[in-house]
Amino acid sequence: TQLLEQSPQFLSIQEGENLTVYCNSSSVFSSLQWYRQEPGEGPVLLVTVVTGGEVKKLKRLTFQFGDARKDSSLHITAAQPGDTGLYLCAGKGAGSYQLTFGKGTKLSVIP
Amino acid sequence: NAGVTQTPKFQVLKTGQSMTLQCAQDMNHNSMYWYRQDPGMGLRLIYYSASEGTTDKGEVPNGYNVSRLNKREFSLRLESAAPSQTSVYFCASSADYGQGVDAFFGQGTRLTVV
């Protein structure tokens, strides 16, 4: 079973601050995805990374896939209240149909 | 575009009752999934269907059955509901199982078993 550990579990910051959340595993993934989930809604895909060392930017969000494809990070610059939500990482092993999800990081951005 | 549609959105069952959760996608995706989400446990895969006509067990299949009715629809059945099945259930779909596949989720069904 491939496990994904996310840290921190909870994060509360002031508007305008920067933050990084982490997603780590002892397993290698062929791809890794980040989702954001708001209360009462399903997860919404933010990004997919597939190449070791890959960096993708989505406005104020920067995603990085580790060189060994075992870990990933999400960095948010100048957080805004609209960034509040549950951030989930999910990894897929080579040849697998299954996405393995981490337990998530619950982010609160205080105005 | 509707994307992934789940029905019902809320349901309360008594222990031992049965019900079917419905899921339909309009994106012509090959693969469909059922997950449950519990506090502190993250999303766990119950069953998946890689393509029309095939279904396979995921991480937590006990107490559930599924049917891939056609390419669009994938249903989840609880034959005899138990309080441990109280959860939020999400259906998802993806174009294929290849590398970097993007999954799209429905809004969820909130099920309480009393």
Q: Nearest Cα to B6, choosing from A103, A97, A40?
A: A40
Chain B CA closest to residue A39:
B107
Q: How far is A51 from chain B (nearest CA, A)?
A: 10
Split at pLDDT 50, 70, 90, the class of B100 is low
Is a pLDDT exceeding 80 seen at residue A38?
A: yes
The one-letter code for the residue type at A82 is G
Is a pLDDT exceeding 80 seen at residue A71?
A: yes
Is a pLDDT exceeding 70 seen at residue B98?
A: no
Q: Which residues of B touch A54 (CB under 8 A)?
A: none
Chain B CA closest to residue A97:
B97
Is a pLDDT exceeding 80 seen at residue A95?
A: no
Question: Distance between CA A22 and CA A105 in Å, rounded?
Answer: 9
Per-residue model confidence as pLDDT tens digits over B48-86 = 998 899 999 999 999 999 999 899 999 999 999 999 999
Q: What percent of chain B has pLDDT over 90?
A: 78
Question: Distance between CA B6 and CA A40 in Å, rounded?
Answer: 13
Burial of A1 (0-12, 13-18, 19+ CB in 10 A): exposed
CA atoms within 13 A on the CB side of B45: 25
Q: How high does pLDDT run on average in chain A? A: 92
Q: Report, as an integer, the average pLDDT of A56-68.
A: 95
